[in-house]
A and B are shown apart, each in its own frame.
Chain A
């Protein structure tokens, strides 16, 4: 099964949609320093309200996580998950594969884990080289803090991918499923930082998995494993539960 997972991951990496997703993320990396050269005033106001200073690195991280990567994880997971089982069904590839000694639920797990692994790969191949690019462009850039924060955010992106795959098989149609997944992820992204602006709601917003992915934002001065590990583990648990739910739903699908 490990070999099938590996082959499926490699196949997923070679799909056209992966190139589209990669292009989106590379564009984000290249464009943000240009945006930051002249940040909008409301961005500065918001960052000052909850970070109490205008540390250029904090400003950059706010823009990068909230305005860029949170938007990316509302779109890219939907692109990556759009082919999970439904596309194989619609293009008649599943008619061939479903006759193999593998349940449809198991196949869904393999395909979704591959999509999640592709998402992680895209993070690695964009965020790590981005360190060198940002270092020369952003004043006060701290590579270690950036990578740690994005490591946590990658866990949220993985969850978003599993979530999109599960929503799509729950809806049962690719187009409608993608739309619903995109809308739900959009709502989660929109509410992700509410707890930072409204501290009274902070505890409540922790129920939103995408909020967990942004928790590094409140601790940029002292990011440590104690800050990062609990939300990472929670996001992994969310991901596992979501994939299990998708595997259960897909069993009812007529091939």
Chain B
């Protein structure tokens, strides 16, 4: 466990009377693509936000690459890339300017930032629109810029919250291929939340399932399917939820 890229132990978050995350524990190994599935409001986003220090836990602890998410928040953010579920890009900037801006937030030297920015623009096919204002970009283009900014610091851990929602089938396929390449070629640990279960199955070997703030299962997809007699991800998830309810 000590070599885990992400380690979460009994993590909890309460907003007033509402328990948003309740005693969640799991770990993610380096270089793994880890799926985090659950219905809307299950607690996936709150968990990811706690991993980045954007929301303070009210119980338990978590660490990313050994950095405690509360005590060493800025260290965690330095090694992470993050794409939230709901976000917008600064409308008056161009993709090229925005990538340089984000690079400066990481204090990446100018020449390195330029080289990385250009490489990311090429990688995501954004060269043609690199100098166009971000105002009016389509969802797919916005998501490409969003993912590019999450990679500008060459993160060792990538946290993605519902990255495929809102994308058309081609955009989803491209994004999933990018994530697979990042994990396989660069050893990046990817944790991505989704309620699109086919995406989770396409990409991940292991998953965690959340339901009403609680972790109801965590393990290899194949093993979980066998254990619960499921043939598809939908069946697996429904079976997990049913068992939890009973």
Q: Which residues in A have some Cβ–Cβ distance to B below 8 Å?
A: 1, 3-4, 7-8, 10-11, 14-16, 88, 91-93, 95-103, 255
Contact = CB atoms under 8 A, between A and B. Distances in A.
A95 B90 contact: no
B117 to A, nearest CB: 12
Contacts of A101: 74-75, 77-78, 105-106
A14 B89 CA distance: 15
Chain B binding site: helix, strand, loop or mixed by DSSP?
Answer: mixed
Interface string B72-83: 001101101011
A11 B102 contact: no
A131 to B, nearest CB: 31
Interface string B97-115: 1001110111100100000
- By secondary structure, the A interface counts as loop
Contacts of B89: 93, 96
B146 interface: yes
Nearest to A107: B105
A93 B90 contact: yes
B101 A4 contact: yes
Given A95-B87, A97-B102, A99-B54, 14 more contacts: A10-B97, A11-B90, A11-B101, A92-B87, A92-B88, A93-B87, A96-B84, A96-B149, A97-B105, A99-B77, A99-B80, A100-B105, A102-B105, A255-B54
B106 A1 contact: no
Contacts, number: 67
Given A11-B97, A99-B77, A101-B78, A91 B105 contact: no
Nearest to A2: B104
A99 B84 contact: yes
Contacts of B97: 7, 10-11
8 contacts: A3-B110, A8-B101, A11-B92, A95-B84, A99-B77, A100-B106, A101-B75, A101-B105
The contact size tier of chain B is 20 to 34
Nearest to B159: A99
A69 B82 CA distance: 44
A8 B98 CA distance: 10
Please indicate which of the listed interface residues A14, A95, A103 has the most CB atoms of chain B within 10 Å of its own CB.
Answer: A95
B120 interface: no
B185 interface: no
B203 interface: no
B86 interface: yes
A101 B103 CA distance: 11
A151 B164 CA distance: 53
A99 B52 contact: yes
Contacts of B78: 101
Contacts of B105: 4, 97, 100-102
A100 B87 CA distance: 14
Contact of A92 (B74, B77, B86): B86
B139 to A, nearest CB: 14
A96 B97 CA distance: 15
A139 B86 CA distance: 59
A11 B93 CA distance: 7
A93 B88 contact: yes
Contacts of A15: 92
A3 B83 CA distance: 24
A87 to B, nearest CB: 10
A102 B106 CA distance: 8
A14 to B, nearest CB: 5
A221 B182 CA distance: 70
Interface in B157-189: none
Interface string B50-72: 00101000000000000000000
B82 A7 contact: no
Nearest to B145: A96
Contacts of A92: 86-88
Contacts of A255: 54
Nearest to B133: A14
Nearest to B48: A99
Contacts of B54: 98-99, 255
A215 to B, nearest CB: 37
Nearest to B90: A93
A101 B54 CA distance: 11
Contacts of A4: 101, 104-105, 107
Looking at B82, B88, B102, the one whose CB has the most chain A CB atoms below 10 A away is: B88
Contacts of B90: 11, 88, 93
Nearest to B93: A11
A94 to B, nearest CB: 9
